[in-house]
Chains A and B, each alone.
Chain A
Amino acid sequence: MTQRSVRRSVKQRRLSLPDRAVTIHASYSSRKILMHAYHDLGGTPAGPIEQDDHPAVLWEKRVEALLTLVRRRGLLTTDENRRALESLGADVYHNLSYAERRALALSNNMIAKGVFTIDELAAKLAEIDRRKDPLP
């Protein structure tokens, strides 16, 4: 993993970076080199921090609101949410935006817990596709 490839992954998130799943922690000072999970990036060369942040758009705020609501209802714990994020796979995790991967992890957890079914989710997505304004 070079600094340039990390920068590239930040700038062009859609690029496929399957090699990140098995990144060796090069700066680990122990003689024994361990593999680290793709989300556990502490100490990984990252280059300069991208500063051009954007304010959260409506659907991104809704994802966070939904996460808060399902936690308050006792349908999800923070640790379950984190596990789901860490179970998306390196490709999906690094190619989706922050809010996209949180929406996907939430959806996976709700299906696993039987809050809604895959068929219900598919039907809802199809209904949204038919809308003139997908986010009223």
Chain B
Amino acid sequence: MSASVAKDTMRTAKPAFTPGQRVRVRQVDPPGHIRTPHYIRGKSGVIERFCGFFPNPEEKAYGRSGEPMRALYRVRFVQSHVWTGYSGGALDTVDIDLYEHWLEPAGA
């Protein structure tokens, strides 16, 4: 895909998720260069902010352009939901930057 097409995509595309929305990280284990930490897959969190559109590192890792650009979000997770037997504070959270194609809307 050419850069101009990607830029057009970026201009017209809107992020699928909005701050405050609950999302779940896809629980999949694909091969290749993956930036989504293993420990957070399958976990639910809340969109903290939309960070912008960025080239997809999973594509860039193989020498490709990374286009089309992907929406990146900062997602906030409650630590006690992430770890079994978490001994820290009940309000402790962890923020992780995740690309849109790794997220799906979380049920109630």
Given A30, A42, A79, A113, which contacts B61 in the complex, CB threshold below 8 Å?
Answer: A79
Q: Are B32 and A83 in contact (CB-based, < 8 A)? A: yes
Given A30-B27, A37-B34, A80-B62: A42 and B39 within 8 A (CB)?
A: yes
Q: Are B33 and A82 in contact (CB-based, < 8 A)? A: yes
The number of residues on chain B lying at the interface, defined by a beta carbon within 8 Å of a beta carbon of chain A, is 22
Give bound CA distance, A113 to B63, whole Å: 9
Query: Would you give the shortest CB distance from B25 to chain A, in whole angstroms?
Result: 11
The number of residues on chain A lying at the interface, defined by a beta carbon within 8 Å of a beta carbon of chain B, is 20
Contacts of B61 in A (CB 8 A): 77, 79-80, 82-83
Which of chain A's residues has its CB closest to B36's CB?
A: A40
Q: Which residues of A approach B to under 8 Å, CB–CB?
A: 25, 27-30, 32, 34-37, 40, 42-43, 77, 79-80, 82-83, 86, 113
Q: Which residues of B approach A to under 8 Å, CB–CB?
A: 27, 29, 32-34, 37-39, 41-42, 57-58, 60-63, 66, 81-85
Chain A to chain B contacts (Cβ below 8 Å), 26 pairs: A25-B39, A27-B84, A28-B38, A29-B82, A29-B84, A32-B42, A34-B29, A36-B29, A36-B38, A36-B39, A37-B34, A37-B38, A42-B37, A42-B39, A43-B37, A43-B39, A43-B83, A77-B63, A80-B61, A80-B62, A82-B33, A82-B61, A83-B33, A83-B61, A83-B62, A113-B63
